[in-house]
Amino acid sequence: MPVTYHDPCNYTRTCSIVSEPRQVLKACVQNYIEMEPSGYDNWCCGGGGGLAVLDGKEGMADLDGTFHDFCINVTGKVKSEQVRKTGARYLASPCANCKRQLTRLMAHHNPEVQVGGVFDLFARAVILDG
């Protein structure tokens, strides 16, 4: 299945972790597709520093739905379009906040795309002998 990678803001911009997850993915899958833009220029998923996990409307941090709608239909639409352009059917990210937000985005904009972790794919790829 075609796989792409979302660069979490905290991993990429704060910790400079850019090439390592890609190395793991390329070793685990047969069809890795780079998202554009990527790395330091990648678009934020909208989960923003843990906001995706706060309580409120559908888990977002407001009571009237404004923030939720903005994260899903404005900033989230940009991220969803990036994913759609790759043709990927699996969107990997190592960040729990991003995975929660990306799961919402894909369910709304690209329901055919499964969201999961880099190491979820690693675990599926490892073959233990004996």
**Has residue 67 been placed in a domain?**
yes
User: Distance of alpha carbon 104 from its chain centroid, rounded?
Assistant: 10
Q: How confident is the model at residue 75 (pLDDT cuts 50, 70, 90)?
A: confident
- Closest CA relative to residue 85, chosen from 104, 68, 110: 110
pLDDT tens-place string over residues 11-40? 998 899 999 999 999 999 999 999 999 999
**Has residue 130 been placed in a domain?**
no
pTM for the whole thing? 0.86
Report how many domains make up the chain.
1
- Determine the length of the chain: 130
User: Which phi and psi angles does 5 have, rounded to 5°?
Assistant: -125, 135
- What residues make up the domain containing 108? 3-125
DSSP one-letter string for 43-63: PP-S-TTTGGGSSSGGGSS-S
**Has residue 106 been placed in a domain?**
yes
- Closest CA relative to residue 37, chosen from 6, 15, 13, 3: 6
pLDDT tens-place string over residues 76-122? 899 999 999 999 999 999 998 899 889 989 999 999 999 999 999 99
Measured at the CA of 41, the angle between CA 99 and CA 89, to 5 degrees, comes to 40
